[in-house]
Amino acid sequence: MRTPTARQFLKDVSNHKMEVLHSDWLYRNAIFSQEKNPNLWFELITWPHVLTIHGDMGTWTFSRVENMFDFFRCAKESQLRTNPSYWSEKLCGGVHGGSDQAKVWSEDLFRSDLMRRIKEDYGDFSGNKMKELLMAVNEDILSRQGQWELVTAANEFSYEFEEDRDNRGYLERIESHRKARRFHLDSESIPDGMTYSYHFLWCLYAIVWGIRQWDRWARSVHPVDILDRKRMEWLFGDPCNGASRDQIERILRDTSSIKEARRLIDKFMLGEGSGDGV
């Protein structure tokens, strides 16, 4: 089964552009797509504690922290790293959510994992005995097709080694004793054959990449422009050290440094204000 790589993903979105539909603190909505081409489009939607990605590669909703962009951000912009195992645990869906909804059955993976686990779990078998076991597994299990047939055959696998057949005593020729001596695969040796789907892995890359595009956009605009009127009223509805919301907004817009404006917003949100002309 194919899995997407960071290089392949970047090729897929090389012509994508971001359109910001909504920006209101933790409430965000942006669409990423090619111009006049809906192929592989996706959108990111966030609200407190939740992020949803929706588009050509499916819909996935995650919940973990208040600001979900912080949860998915890469430490280094030069990297496009994902964490499928951990992130899939934060999937929402139904009653319990969880990683199962991100996985699909892979026959190739089941076959390769089964042979690998047998060689590891029964590594103390002699060379001839291991060879005999692998031949039996190929004949009785791997000759089957499809998930149900393969898994059923593995769980029902029963084999009597040649050396046991040759060395049977009188009692062992009785059927009940023969069954007791037959070899069965341990349940831990039978893989589930499940792996993360191509669509899910692609969407994880899309989340990380999309957040990066958003952050670049946010750094290029004034912080006040990211706040809609309702959010400004929520932040500054009551006078802050005698300053009205309109006065605070004017001060922020007059601030030449975007970094300084963000610092002022943080101070206003904490109910502070002295020393900045407010």
Residue count of the chain: 278
Quote the mean pLDDT of the chain: 80
**pLDDT score of 71 more than 80:** yes
Q: Convert the pLDDT of each residue in 2-13 to its tens digit.
A: 789 999 999 999
276/17: higher pLDDT: 17
pTM score, two decimals? 0.73
Taking the C-alpha atoms of residue 68 and residue 60, their distance in angstroms, rounded to an integer, is 13
pLDDT for 204: 97
pLDDT for 276: 42
261/155: higher pLDDT: 155
Task: Give the mean pLDDT of 166-194.
Answer: 65
Beta bridge partners of 18: 32
248/201: higher pLDDT: 201
Task: Give the mean pLDDT of 239-267.
Answer: 58
pLDDT for 253: 62
152/126: higher pLDDT: 152
Domain map (residue ranges) of the chain: 6-104+197-220, 107-192, 223-269
69/78: higher pLDDT: 69
**pLDDT score of 113 more than 80:** yes
**C-alpha separations of 159 from 120, 149, 173 in Å:** 18, 18, 15
Taking the C-alpha atoms of residue 32 and residue 119, their distance in angstroms, rounded to an integer, is 47
Query: Which region holds residue 183: left if phi is over 0, alpha if psi is between -120 and 50, else beta?
Result: beta
Task: Specify which of 109-118, 152-161, 175-184, 216-225 reaches the highest per-range mean pLDDT.
Answer: 109-118
pLDDT for 221: 73
Q: Angle CA(242)–CA(223)–CA(208) in degrees, nearest 5?
A: 140
Beta strands, E only, 117-232: 194-196
H-helix or E-strand spanning residue 266: helix 258-269
Interacting residues of 172 by C-beta distance below 8 A, sequence separation 6+: 178, 181
Q: Angle CA(8)–CA(12)–CA(17) in degrees, nearest 5?
A: 140
Question: DSSP label at 159?
Answer: B
**C-alpha separations of 22 from 25, 31, 47, 237 in Å:** 10, 10, 11, 21
Q: Convert the pLDDT of each residue in 49-62 to its tens digit.
A: 999 999 999 999 99
